[in-house]
Amino acid sequence: MKEKIHLHLESIDFFIKSFDNKSITINSGLPGIIIFYFHLHEVTKETRHYDSAIHYLEILYDQLENDLPDSYLFSSGLAGIGWFFNYIRRFVEIENAFDTAEFDITFMEVAKNELKRKNYEFISGFSGILLYILSKENTDIQLLQTFVDDVHEDIFKLEDPISFFEQKDTRHEFPSINFGVSHGMYGFVAVLNKLFARQINPKKCEAILRLIINFTFKHKKDFITNGSFFPNRIGKTINQSNHNRLAWCYGDLGILTVLYTTSFLLKDIVLQKEVTTMLIHTTHRKDMEVLMMNDVWLCHGTSGAAHIFQRLYITTQIDDFKFAANYWYSKTLQQLDRGTPQIKSNHTQIGSYARKDVTGFLLGYAGLGLSLLSKLQTTTLDWDEMLLMS
């Protein structure tokens, strides 16, 4: 498997370089590509990969000088870029121009505005901003403490506190509660875990965590009958599928991986045992059609499941997770060997790869490459904080 991974990493290098991606956003643009090349250099020790990382970093700087984003959110703007600069300091000496007290105040003002809208999600809500603030070397604890106070007050002043998490969007006529990591409650839970670990208003963090955990388990389904434990959403007129994704963004794998961390931090042995048992059950879900595993990308594809199971094995040393990781890595490599429809569709008439939307992190080659590197580089997986998995 390792030899085949190395071959596909070479192909991914080619695919990325075949398109001139100049996007500055963390999930689809240059930041994910740069992180991939720094880690590829760590594994291969080949100078050309380090040079590629620096090359794309220079392009990113040029793009930021010419077109600074007007968003402060994680996926679309400065929170994601700021997190990226803080992360790559382990590889190269750089300054984060957004790491100032003035910017911190602005970031938190934006977070408070999102709080007023009850926009708690990770990708484009206040949770992503909090992740960036927490990644700073000199985190302003007071700003975070005040924010946790505000969140706690806004939640528990409601007659039904869980109603804080109700969302309304264009797809659903009535408000509903999203359980996912990417856009739902469990992205917020992952950030609360980090706040609790830093002892930032731990009692209030735990109160919110317990509220969400209790609500989650109230809606736990029978695994044998339904094929999964938790719904994607709860709300009026929403019909639940018996089979949900096995993915980072939605479904049991993302939810339970975040909950495992929660149980560890809360020192809740009962919860930890239950979550571990449920995670082991997820290792038996292997029908790619039922699981909607129709691509190789991190967000909801085979490489995402492979990486998360790999992380779970490293954390727990439970063999079920090792076997599941190997299974999904093998499925990823099989798709790459024969060329998935998503990859084939990227070919132009002259045979080069030319779609920027699949060269980045969440739904692209950079994220795929990082997942493959996780199989080779098992001690430095913390890039997946971009997924709230670490």
pLDDT digits (tens, 9 = 90+) for 35-76: 999 999 999 999 999 999 999 999 999 999 988 889 999 999
| Domain count across the chain | 1
The model's confidence at residue 348, banded by pLDDT at 50, 70 and 90, is very low
Residue 226 is predicted with a pLDDT of 87
Residue 284 has pLDDT above 90, yes or no: yes
- Locate 125 and state its tokens: 């809500």
Burial class (CB in 10 A: 0-12, 13-18, 19+), 350: exposed
Query: What are the two backbone dihedrals, phi and then psi, of residue 334, each rounded to the nearest 5 degrees?
Result: -60, -45
Residue 299 labeled ligand binder:
yes
Distance CA 203, CA 389 (A): 23
Radius of gyration of the chain (CA): 20
Tokens representing 383?
Answer: 């890039």
251: which DSSP letter? B
CATH classification at residue 157: 1.50.10.20
* 41-50, 64-73, 143-152, 307-316: segment of lowest average pLDDT: 64-73
Residues shown for the chain: 390
- Strand pairing partners for 246? 251
Model pLDDT, residue 255: 97
Residue 118 pLDDT grade (very low, low, confident, very high; cuts 50, 70, 90):
very high
Question: How far is the C-alpha of 140 from the C-alpha of 107, rounded, in Å?
Answer: 12
Distance CA 29, CA 43 (A): 22
**Domain enclosing residue 262, as ranges:** 1-387
The predicted structure's pLDDT at residue 377: 85
Q: How far apart are CA 350 and CA 382, in angstroms?
A: 38
β-strand partners of 167: 176
Is-contact 363 299, C-beta < 8 A? Answer: yes
| Ligand-binding site membership of 249 (annotated) | yes
Query: Cβ(21)–Cβ(8) under 8 Å?
Result: no
Over the chain, what is the mean pLDDT?
91
Is 205 annotated for ligand binding? no
State yes or no: pLDDT of 354 exceeds 60: no
**What's the pLDDT score for residue 68?**
87
